Structures are given as C-alpha cells and as structure tokens.
Amino acid sequence: MERLREWLEGYRSFEPFPHPLNPDIIVTGLIPEKASVFGSAMAPFKLVFRTDTGGEYTIIFKCGDDPRQDQLVIQLISLMDSLLKKVKFDLSLTPYGVLAMSCNEGMVEFIPSVPLSKVLATYGRNIQTFLRQYHADDTGPFGIERETLDIFIKSLAGYCVITYILGIGDRHNDNLMLRSEGHLFHIDFGFILGADPKIFPPPFKLTYQMVEAMGGETSEEYEQFKSYCCSCFIILRKNANLILNLFSLMVDGDIPGIADLGGEKSILKVQEKFMLDLTDEQAIKEFQDLMKSAVENMWAPLFDKGHDIVQKFK
C-alpha cells in the first residue's frame, strides 16, 4: 500500500478529463492517501479521484481477471432493471459500472457497502441488527424503518430472480454486499450459466439469515418477498426474447463462461430458465418450489461455513 501511494503522488493533479468509467464525471487528480489494496487473491487497487466539482469518485482497478464477463453480466442486470422500471416495478437494484480495458484488466465502480460475511460476523449473524443500527424506527417492522426493510426485501427478490436466470454460481457471503440503506447486491461473476465450483448448489442464494431478516417464513414480509420474486420473474419472462437476442450477440465474444459451453448451448441455458413451455401460473408454481429448495438446501450453509474458515487462514 505504501508503494502504491508513493507512486500515485505523481498523479495528484493532471489535466481534467472525463473518467472512462463514467464520462459524466470530470476528474482532475488522484488522492494518494485514500488509495488502498484489497486483500483478495489478485490484490485489486482502490483508487480515489478528485473531481472538478471538489468531490470524489472511487473505483476499483483489477488486474489478472477477465473483466469482460463481469461487464456482460452487469449490462444484462442493467437491462433487466430497465425492463422492470418500464412497468413501474422498481426493485432497488444496484447495477454498478464495469469497464473492461483488456482481457485481464478493468475498472469497477466502488459502491460503499459491507460484505454480508462481515455483517453476519459483526452483528451476531443478524441482518436486522445491521439495518437497525443505521435506520432504527420503533414504529417500523422489527424496529427498522419501513422503507429500509422494503429496499432490502425488493433488492433481495430482484437478485434472486436475476442470478437464477443467468445461472450465476459461486455465491458466498463475501460476494454479496449490503448497503446501510438496505440495498443488497451481488459482485464477482466468475461463474455463470450454471457453472459452480460447489456440488449441489442451490438455484440462487437465499439463506436462513436472509429469511430471518424478513421475520421468518410465516411473516407478512416474507410473503411480500415471494410476491416480488414471482412478479419479477413473470415480467422478465415476458421479455425473454429481447434478453435472449441481446445475449446471443455475445456468444462469439470469447468470454470464458460462454465460450466454455459453446454459443448455442449457452443461449439454451438461459432460455430454459424462463420456462417458456409453461403457462404463467405453472411457471410461478415452479419458481415457488425453487425458492423453497433454496432455503432448504443443506449444502449451502456448510459451504458458507467452510468458506469463512478458509478466509480466516488467508
């Protein structure tokens, strides 16, 4: 970190230019003392730029991983977010910016948030306690502001459906992020289209702690969550052709998760998730069964615990 900050001193100021990750933002220099190095395998950099308005713009610079797959997934999440909002169904998603600069370098927009693993470790494995710390309300459900809990429930529902459709794997509590306002979102999309390093993975990440944060399986909030999931699935299902057509444009892009399967197979992987051979009612019933299997998956908590143990020794 010291070497990084020393090197960045030479870029404390420079000629203003639009930041490539977000051209609406004009940057005028870096703030070396706020730079840091993350502890993950590829040791990505956190870089803080000074803007022409006197503000700050923070990114993560990654080297060693192929960022094109992450960029594709985020573009698809952004598309689905737009399709939902088009029918006035906002699920408080967080489609952050990703820019691939080469096959092994890229920038990622930094969103202030906390890994779910840290939330659980710090707050007694209780997500409600985390939300109460920032948005307590004695009149709200579980002592939490209604809007904050609604944001959590909506964003959880949206990402459950989207990660299911795209077959995003290797979901653990270090690549699920939680913001103080209640937004939950996913990062690091190294495994897509059903690929997963774990055996018997659930259809999407829905843990006991997440259900408890909504008051348990018998609560009104959990019923609302299931309703959001089903509505989201049906809306995206009605737009399946658009999503599949745009996805098909990327099959020749040499993106690892797609190239490993082959173009036609990768499209079929996404297509089968929409259950287009079923009626809406049948598809909702199937998706409700998937939610139940996700919560009851006996392997998921074991893998989460194993992942936590491995991280402690790193």
Please state the length of the chain. Answer: 314
Q: 21 and 151 share a domain?
A: no
Mean pLDDT of the chain, nearest integer: 92
**Which tens digit of pLDDT belongs to each residue from 117-130?**
999 999 999 999 99
Going by pLDDT thresholds of 50, 70 and 90, the confidence category of residue 261 is confident
- Phi, psi dihedral angles at 115 (to 5 degrees): -60, 140
CATH number of domain containing 21: 3.30.1010.10
CA distance 32 to 49: 9
Average pLDDT estimate for 279-284: 96
Q: 160 and 293 share a domain?
A: yes
Helices (H) and strands (E) counted in the chain, each on its own, are: 12, 10
Q: 85 and 146 share a domain?
A: yes
Average pLDDT estimate for 141-155: 98
Number of domains composing the chain: 2
**165 domain residue, yes or no:** yes
Q: Look up residue 263 and give its two tokens.
A: 């173009």
CA distance 126 to 214: 11
**105 domain residue, yes or no:** no
What pLDDT shows up at residue 260? Answer: 75
Q: 77 and 22 share a domain?
A: no
pLDDT above 80: residue 267: yes
Q: 153 and 194 share a domain?
A: yes
Q: 78 and 125 share a domain?
A: yes
**Which tens digit of pLDDT belongs to each residue from 29-43?**
999 999 999 877 778
pLDDT above 70: residue 301: no
CB atoms near residue 18 (< 10 Å): 11
The parent domain of residue 210 ranges over 68-94+112-313
pLDDT above 80: residue 71: yes
pLDDT above 70: residue 308: no
Q: 78 and 181 share a domain?
A: yes
CA distance 41 to 282: 43
Q: 271 and 251 share a domain?
A: yes
SS (H, E, C) 236-277: HHHCHHHHHHHHHCCCCCCCHHHHCCCHHHHHHHHHHHCCCC
